[in-house]
Amino acid sequence: MAKNISVKLSVHSLVCFAAEHEIQDGPLTFEEACAHVSGQKLQGPEAHPMKSDRAPGDVQISDLPIRRLEPTSAKVEQFADILLQHPVNFDEGLFANMYKLCYEGKYGQLPPPFCLAKSPNCPFTIQFVILPSPAPEDADPNVNYHHIIKHVYLHRNKQNARDCVAMCYGDPMRFEWGNSARHGLAALNHMLDRMGGRQLRHWIIKPRYEKKLTLDQEQRAKGYLYIKQHGPRCNNKNQFMEWTDEQIHTPGGILENWPEAKVKEALHNHMKGRQNAKTLEFWPFTFKTFVPWFMDLVLAKMLPSMRQNSITWIGRTRTGKSLGSKIVLFMQSKFEIEAASRSDIIPSIVTAKHLDFFKAEPLTRFKPGVFDDGLLQRMDASFLKAFLNPSVT
């Protein structure tokens, strides 16, 4: 059987021996893989690899539809580079670093033999399958040995077979699947998946028709909160574009794979909120902050008419006018929320230095507003509408 052949054989000898002796009693042949993926959809190559770490599977290298790639002038658009019993201490740190570099598309920075010996002059992606292998007779006891399978896809560009051979560190192999390359590629990826081991893959086999996946409510809430708390506050040096590009391409990040337009729109909305009216949802001061004589003789007489009238503070600067306004409005917000038995909102107020800014966020009885440190005498009377005509809800 092919799986019992000595690993001292080269990949070419291993595959040819299986073909010449018609060894097809493995768990999965290429024809069976083609039948398995029939009617399914092959998606890829994905921009970012999928990482998996599993026990070795039941498909062997000799089961793959590969033959030796000869250095001729023939054109190929994908090939395999296979190394048997390669000495490498392949630990979790190396695997994580490979995933990071492949995620960023930096295949040239991979350590040999995982990179290509010579980079092609066209875009490409590499899939990796790394399997533990038995040590050869003259093995170094301090080194682990692995089979390394690299599937190189040139994105429909064709290169000379001679150049592709020069890119390989191990045995260069071509794929033998006839004229149906797309269907054969799907079958190949199914077989690679059945090989197990540590893998970095760019192709997905999925049902031809499926429900579109969307972010659930919890993921959206976490994402918007992250944008609010960690997003840049201004965009004078292209911060929005740079921050968004970094976040949506960070492996495992909260905003990974979010639509770029949605993230930038959220950043712009927060910036407009800071430029226009600002919402406060926390204020550390209460009525107890006022001195008793002011609370009893002044404010207590004004509070009963707060639903019908506004308060205008006139006096010297830095004497507590802004502080007093925010205290009164937070208490009013809390009172209105409790009176309406609204458990879905929290006390909050809106503050701005220009009356027109309140158009960006209409005032309500649950969220009153304060015109703070503005020059009222320089503003047109039409601006008062947004401030003095709050909505009912």
The domain locations on the chain are 2-207, 217-275, 279-388
Comparing CA positions, the residue from 174, 191, 194, 207 lying closest to residue 33 is 191
Residue 44 has pLDDT above 50, yes or no: yes
Give the rounded percent of residues in the chain with a pLDDT score beyond 90.
43
- Give residue-wise pLDDT tens across range 133-157: 998 888 888 899 999 999 999 999 9
Comparing CA positions, the residue from 117, 99, 96 lying closest to residue 108 is 117
Among 135-139, 143-147, 279-283, 319-323, top mean pLDDT goes to 143-147
pLDDT at res. 213:
56
More confident of the two residues 190 and 216 = 190
Residue 288: DSSP 8-state? G
| Contact present, 310 and 384 (Cβ < 8 Å) | no
Strand, coil or helix: 240: helix
pLDDT at res. 361:
67
List alpha helices for 215-259, DSSP H: 217-230, 239-248
What one-letter code names the amino acid at 313? W
Strand, coil or helix: 36: helix
> For residues 89 and 86, what is the distance between their CA atoms, to the nearest angstrom?
10
> For residues 197 and 53, what is the distance between their CA atoms, to the nearest angstrom?
6
Half-sphere exposure of residue 318, counting CA atoms within 13 Å on the CB side? Answer: 0
Q: How far is CA 328 from CA 167, 286, 333, 348, in A?
A: 74, 8, 9, 11
Q: How far is CA 250 from CA 56, 242, 244, 265, in A?
A: 29, 12, 10, 19
- Give residue-wise pLDDT tens across range 47-80: 889 999 999 999 999 899 999 999 999 999 999 9
Burial of 209 (0-12, 13-18, 19+ CB in 10 A): exposed
Tokens of 165: 């051979």
What one-letter code names the amino acid at 140? D
Contacts of 206 (CB under 8 A, 6+ apart): 40, 41, 43
Describe the crossing of helices 239-248 and 260-275 by its angle, rounded to 10 degrees: 140
> For residues 317 and 329, what is the distance between their CA atoms, to the nearest angstrom?
20
Residue 22 has pLDDT above 70, yes or no: no
- Give residue-wise pLDDT tens across range 296-315: 888 888 888 877 777 777 77
Write the DSSP string, 40-64. EEEE---SS-EEEEEEE-S--GGGS
Q: How far is CA 39 from CA 11, 29, 42, 206, 266, in A?
A: 31, 18, 10, 10, 40
Q: How much is the mean pLDDT over the chain?
A: 84
Q: State the residue for tokens 């809390």.
A: 334
| Contact present, 91 and 148 (Cβ < 8 Å) | no
List alpha helices for the chain, DSSP H: 11-20, 30-37, 92-103, 161-166, 181-195, 217-230, 239-248, 260-275, 292-294, 300-302, 321-339, 384-388
pLDDT at res. 178:
83
| Contact present, 148 and 113 (Cβ < 8 Å) | yes
Contacts of 124 (CB under 8 A, 6+ apart): 107, 116, 152, 153, 154, 155
- pLDDT interval class at 356 (50, 70, 90): low
Q: How far is CA 297 from CA 81, 290, 302, in A?
A: 88, 11, 10
